Amino acid sequence: MRADAREGKGITVMTEHVFVDGQLCAIIIPAKYDQPGIQFFTANELSQQLASMSYCAGRVIPAHTHNPVRREVSYTQETLFIRKGKVRVDFYTQQQEYRMSRILGAGDVILLICGGHGFEVLEALNMVEVKQGPYTGELDKSRFEANLPDRLNFD
């Protein structure tokens, strides 16, 4: 785990980089994160880019279109926007071994980059998922039986 501090509005808000066996597995942006301008959280080599944009009223973002650019995506990455409720995210290695858990609440955002993950809804939940398409159904993922320890790791 690595946390990056961002100063703002008199408090320090951290983003969390979740590492599983030395590999960046997820980036968590808490609901209270609010920095002016554009702040990118992802490296250019990730196939899903995640940024925060925060501007004062009156700021104009120039009109634009996006050009066709050929990209190759080998693994699906997904971003979840927690709109309401609470969810526990369990992180696993690619070999399906449990490593750690995090709890997310309303307003939190998580980019799931690699490894395995599972969820338990702790409070009635509404979340939005964004990932690369097209979705290929069961070809897109390998489901497995979660083998959770008696005591979860939140370190």
Where do the structural domains in the chain lie, given as residue ranges?
2-54+75-131
Q: Which residues pair with 67 in a beta bridge?
A: none
| Residue 13, pLDDT score | 67
Q: What is the pTM of this model?
A: 0.88
Q: How confident is the model at residue 75, as a pLDDT?
A: 84
Is 119 within 8 Å of 143 (Cβ atoms)? no
Altogether, the residues listed in the chain come to a count of 155
Query: In angstroms, rounded to a whole number, what is the distance separating the alpha carbons of residues 85 and 66?
Result: 34
Q: What is the pLDDT of residue 12?
A: 55
Beta bridge partners of 4: 15
Quick one: pLDDT at residue 45? Answer: 87
pLDDT tens string for the chain (155 positions)? 455 544 444 455 689 999 999 999 999 999 999 888 999 999 988 889 999 999 999 999 999 999 999 988 888 899 999 999 999 999 999 999 999 999 999 999 999 999 999 999 999 999 999 998 888 888 888 899 999 999 999 98
Burial 70-84 (b: 16+ CB within 10 A, else e): eeeeeebbebbbbee
CATH class given for the domain over 2-54+75-131: mainly beta
